Amino acid sequence: MKNNNTIKPQDILILLKICTLGEQDWFQHDLSEALGISQSEISECLSRSKYSGLIDANRKKVNVLSLLEFIQYGIKYVFPQQPGAIVRGVATAHSAPPLDQEIISDQNYVWPYARGNMRGQAIQPLYRTIPKAVLNDKKLHEVLALVDAIRVGKVREQHLAISLLKERLQYAE
């Protein structure tokens, strides 16, 4: 029997997008359009997230503390990633704001994307549509880059990313 309640990587993307909207009203079709994910997958994500306690019973308000706890303690184990080949793409982890101002490195990390503006080691995004979705969404780009710093960064980068992520998401509680 297949378990349909297991969190998927796109669920984290969708929940973070909702968090970046703050108090702004949203609809599933808005999320679908902004993230390049079908409305049926958005609906399935919200159901899985409700089951796991990451969103409220009305499927509208993210349980930010639970999401942060999962990202801080579990994401690097559930959705691990190792830097890969040098490719063109969109900056992530310590190579993207806000960490690019805090951490100096000669190694860039990018999500592979032909229209990206940086070359660096490939980091596979949590979901395939992320590189395109963040091009016009600075807030979403920042929180996803911080999540990647937790997935692939060293201890110092992880602690800094967690701290910055908490700052960016706390207002949504």
Residue 3 lies in a domain: no
Structural domain for 25, as ranges: 9-78
Q: Among the three residues 32, 61, 78, which one is the final residue of a domain in this structure?
A: 78
Choose the final residue of a domain: 47, 78, 109.
Answer: 78
Query: Angle 39-52/9-20 helices, nearest 10 degrees?
Result: 90
Mean local confidence (pLDDT), 79-100: 97
Cross-strand partners of 90: 111
Strands (E), 21-143: 86-91, 109-112, 118-122
pTM: predicted TM-score of the whole model, two decimal places: 0.94
Q: Mean pLDDT, to the nearest integer, of 105-134?
A: 96
Number of folded domains in the chain? 2
The amino acid that residue 30 corresponds to is D
Residues 99 and 153 in one domain: yes
Is residue 122 in a domain? yes
CA distance linking residue 126 with residue 115, whole number of Å: 18
* In a shared domain, residues 47 and 18: yes
Percent of the chain's residues with pLDDT above 90: 90
Tell me what pLDDT residue 4 has.
78
Q: Is the pLDDT of residue 170 over 80?
A: no
- Model pLDDT, residue 2: 56
- 17 assigned to some structural domain: yes
Q: Say whether pLDDT at 143 is over 50.
A: yes
Residues 158 and 117 in one domain: yes
100 and 163 belong to one structural domain: yes
Co-location of 71 and 94 in the same domain: no
In a domain, 142, yes or no: yes
Say if residue 156 is in the same domain as residue 103: yes
Select from 115, 109, 22, 21 the least CA-distant residue to 31: 21
The whole-number average pLDDT for the span 80-97 is: 97
Indicate if 68 and 89 belong to the same structural domain: no
